Structure 1
Amino acid sequence: MKILYVITGLAQGGAERVVCDLADKMYEKGNEVKIAYLTGEVLTHPLHEEIELIKVNLNNLSSLIPAYMNLVKIVKNYRPDVIHSHMVHANLLTRLVRLAVPTGKLISTAHSNNEGGRARMLLYRITHSLADATTNVSKEATLAFVDKGAVPENGMRTVYNGIDLGKFKRSINTRLELNKELNVSEDFKIILAVGRFNEAKDYPGLLKAVHILKKETSLSFKLAIAGDGELRFLLERIINELGLEKEVILLGRRNDISELMSAADLFVLASKYEGFGLVVAEAMACECLVVATDCGGVAEVLNSPYFLVPPCDSIALADKIEYALSLDKNIKKDIIRKNLEHVWNNFSLISIADKWIGIYNEK
C-alpha cells in the first residue's frame, strides 16, 4: 500500500510525533510511505530515513495557490492508495486537492476540540463530503466538532493516538542525573511539564499555581519545563515577576523526554484545551504520576478524576499538585501501576496502527 501523510508542519509537538510514529509503523508493516508537510522547519522526523519528507511551502496567504498546486503535483506523481491528512490546514487543503486530481482514499484527522473559530468550522462542514472518513483523537473532541457544526451527526469517529511503548517506558538511574542538572538534593520534589510555549498550554496559569504552592507548602520542589515557543519571553517575565527564579527552570527543547518523565516525581499538564493529551499518556507509560486539567480528551487518557482539575484554575492546580506530591509511597505506586495498565490496554501504537490499517482498507 502507498500511503501519503499530509500534516501542517513537523515542529516539536504531539500531533507531529504521532504522524511520524505512525509513518514508521506503517513502513515497518511493508507499506510505502511519504510525508508532505505544509510549512516550517523539520524538528520532528520519522526514524526511517527511507520515508521521504516533502515540503509543500505554504508560508503565507500569498503562497496558498502555489502550495495547492505543489500538493496537487505531489499527489498526481505519487498516486497514493491512501492520503491521511492531519490538523486543520492540511485537512482542508488536502480535501480541495480532490477537486483537481483523482486520489485514493482520503482520511482527515483533527487533533483537538479547538481547531479554530467559526470560519474554520464552516470550512470543515462545507468540505466534509470530500473526505472518505473524518476522525478526531478523543471522544470529547469528536463531540465538540459535532456541537460546533463542523461535521454532521455521526460524521466523525474517534481513533486515539498511539504511543510507541518501546520509546516511552521507565528508564532507571535517571534521577541522579536530573538532580545534578537541576542542582538539587535528593529531598527535592521534581515537577515536570512538557510542551510548546503557546496559549493552549497555559504556562502562565501553571506558574501562578507554582507561586501559590511556594507560599503554602513546606516541600522543597523544582518545576522543570521542557519546550520552547513564541511565549518564551512572556514566561521568563512572569517567572521574574513572581520571584520563581529558584523554583522554575526552562530546559528548552529536549530529546530525552522519556528520561525526564522517568526521573520526575510528578508530571503536570495545565492546558486550556487539548485534543488527546499525548504527553499525559507518555508520562503514564514512563510510570510518572500525573496531574492535569480536565480539557479535551485528557480525562479519557488519565482515567482518574482524582488527579484532574478545571482548566485556568491555578488555585485548584496548586492544591492538586501538593496533594499528589504528598501521597503515601505505596498509594502512589498502586496508582502508577493502574495508569500503566490503562496505557497498555488503550494506547499502544501497535494496536492503534492496526486500527488505521482497518480504516485504510475499508470499502
Structure 2
Amino acid sequence: MNIDNRQHFRIAQVVASTGNGGLERHAYDLSEGLAMKGHEVTFLTTGTLAPRVPKNVNVVELPLDGNRNNPAVLWKLWRELNNGQFDIVHAQGSKAAQMVTRLSWALPRHLKTIGTLHNQKKNIAAFRKLDHAIGVSNVLSRDINRKNCTTIYHGLRTDFLRQEPMTIERSGRPVILAVGRLVEAKGFDLLLSAWTDIEADLLILGDGPDQEPLKKQVNQLGLEDKVVLLGRSESIAGYMKSADGVVVSSRREGFSYVVAEALLCECPVVSTDVPVANEVLDQSLIMKTDPASMAVKISELVADIRGWRKKCERSFLFAKEQFVYDNMLEKTEVLYSKILEHRHQ
C-alpha cells in the first residue's frame, strides 16, 4: 500500500500515564515519526509527560493522571477530542483506552478509535470496544482476543547501534549483562539468587527504587566479586557489544526492549517466559522464573557461548526485519489508512 498517495491524517495520541517506560517511549517515538511523515499529531497527556513530547508534535496538557472515571476529567478529554477535528484517536495503554471507551458514544461519528495494549492486564475489555486494537506482541494480541486486532512490534531507532563497544574488566569468566529499571517486575532479585551457582560475572545496568535492596542482597549472598550494579547508562549498545550474553529475568513484560536491543546488537539472549522473548527466541532459551531453574539454564549457556550464539542466529535476522523504527511507522500508517479507507472509496 502506497501511503504517499493517501491523505495525511490528523491523529490524537492519548497517554494517561506519568512513567518513563516502554509505553511512553513508544508513544513519543511513534508520534515524532508520524509528524515527520507529514501527519498532524496532537499528544493529549499529563503534566508530567507534556515537557518530554517531541518538538514537532502538538501538546495538550490534561489532568489525565487522576481518576479515570472522574466526570470532570472525562469531560475535558471529550472536549478536546470533539473540537480537534481529528481522524483518529489512538489510546496508548489500558487507562487511556478505558477513558476513550467511556467517551466513544459521544465522539464524532467519523472519528475512529484505536487502543494499544503494552502490558498484560487483568481488565482489557476496553480494547474490545474500540474500532481497532493493537498488541505490541502476539501474546498481547491473543489476550485482546478480537477480530479487529493487529500486532505491531515496537520499532527501535538503529542509530544506537553506532555506539562503540565498551571496555569492561574481565576476571577470566564470561561477562553477562542485565538491563532494566530496578523494580520488582524485572526480577533482578531472582537473578541474584540464581547467580550464587553461576560461574560468570554479571553487570546490571539501570536504576530505580530497588537499587539499595539489591545492593544489600549482593552483599548478603557474597556476590561482590561476581556482580556489579553499574547504574543507569546511555551506552547500553556498547555494553551489549562487549558482553558475552544478555539475560532477561522479568516476572512480566509487554514488550521487552532489552531483548530487541540485544538482538539488534547480535548479542545472545536468554529470557524468562515473557513477550516478546517467547515469540522470537529458540524455546531452549526460555527459562522459568525460579532461581534454581535460572541457574541451571544460564550455567549451561555460559559454558558454551558459541552454541548460545548459534541458537540466536534466526532471532538476529528477525529483529533486523521487525524491531526497527521504519517498520513500526509503516505498519501503523497502513493500519490507520485501512481503518479510514472508506473515505477514499
- Please classify the TM superposition score into its range, dividing by the shorter chain length: 0.7 to 0.9
Three-state SS of the structure 2 residue aligned to 1:358 is helix
Given that 1:8 and 1:39 are in contact with CA atoms closer than 8 Å, whether structure 2 keeps it comes out as no
2:196 maps to 211
Deviations 1:35-61 (A, max 9, x none): 223464579x46x42223443223443
Q: Does 1:237 align with 2:237?
A: no
Q: Which runs of 5+ in 1 are unaligned?
A: 147-153
The aligned runs of 1:146-165 (5 Å cut-off) are 146=145, 154-155=146-147, 157-165=149-157
Residues 158/269 of structure 1: CA separation in 2 closer, same or farther (3 Å cut): farther
Deviations 1:322-348 (A, max 9, x none): 23323254x455445433211122333
Give the AA of the match of 1:206: L
1:111 maps to 118
1:201 maps to 186
CA distance in 1, matches of 2:150, 2:207: 28
1:317 maps to 294
CA distance in 2, matches of 1:255, 1:80: 36
Deviations 1:250-280 (A, max 9, x none): 3333333333322322111111222232320
Residues 288/76 of structure 1: CA separation in 2 closer, same or farther (3 Å cut): same
Deviations 1:297-316 (A, max 9, x none): 321132x1121112x22122
CA distance in 1, matches of 2:238, 2:13: 29
Q: 2:81 aligns with which of 75, 81, 89?
A: 75
CA distance in 2, matches of 1:254, 1:66: 41
Give the AA of the match of 1:25: G
Given that 1:142 and 1:156 are in contact with CA atoms closer than 8 Å, whether structure 2 keeps it comes out as no
CA-CA distance at 1:355 after TM superposition: 1.6
Given that 1:271 and 1:295 are in contact with CA atoms closer than 8 Å, whether structure 2 keeps it comes out as yes
Given that 1:39 and 1:55 are in contact with CA atoms closer than 8 Å, whether structure 2 keeps it comes out as yes
Task: Number of aligned residue pairs: give it.
Answer: 330
The aligned runs of 1:341-352 (5 Å cut-off) are 341-352=317-328
Residues 59/353 of structure 1: CA separation in 2 closer, same or farther (3 Å cut): closer
Residues 100/246 of structure 1: CA separation in 2 closer, same or farther (3 Å cut): farther
Give the AA of the match of 1:133: H
Q: 31-40 vs 264-273, which deviates more?
A: 31-40
1:308 maps to 286
1:175 maps to 166
Give the AA of the match of 2:112: K
The aligned runs of 1:275-290 (5 Å cut-off) are 275-290=254-269
Residues 142/86 of structure 1: CA separation in 2 closer, same or farther (3 Å cut): same
CA distance in 1, matches of 2:232, 2:73: 29
Q: TM-score, normalised by structure 1?
A: 0.80
2:31 maps to 23
Residues 4/61 of structure 1: CA separation in 2 closer, same or farther (3 Å cut): closer
Q: TM-score, normalised by structure 2?
A: 0.84
The aligned runs of 1:240-279 (5 Å cut-off) are 240-279=219-258
1:357 maps to 333
1:5 maps to 13
CA distance in 2, matches of 1:7, 1:97: 15
CA distance in 1, matches of 2:269, 2:41: 35
Given that 2:90 and 2:116 are in contact with CA atoms closer than 8 Å, whether structure 1 keeps it comes out as yes
Give the AA of the match of 2:30: L
1:128 maps to 128
Residues 62/266 of structure 1: CA separation in 2 closer, same or farther (3 Å cut): closer
CA-CA distance at 1:165 after TM superposition: 4.4
The aligned runs of 1:179-194 (5 Å cut-off) are 179=168, 184-185=169-170, 187-194=172-179
CA RMSD of aligned residues (A): 2.8
Q: Does 1:223 align with 2:206?
A: no
Residues 190/69 of structure 1: CA separation in 2 closer, same or farther (3 Å cut): farther
CA distance in 1, matches of 2:216, 2:48: 27
Percentage of pairs with the same residue: 26
Q: Which runs of 5+ in 2 are unaligned?
A: 1-8
Q: 32-41 vs 199-208, which deviates more?
A: 32-41
CA distance in 1, matches of 2:236, 2:173: 20
1:151 maps to none
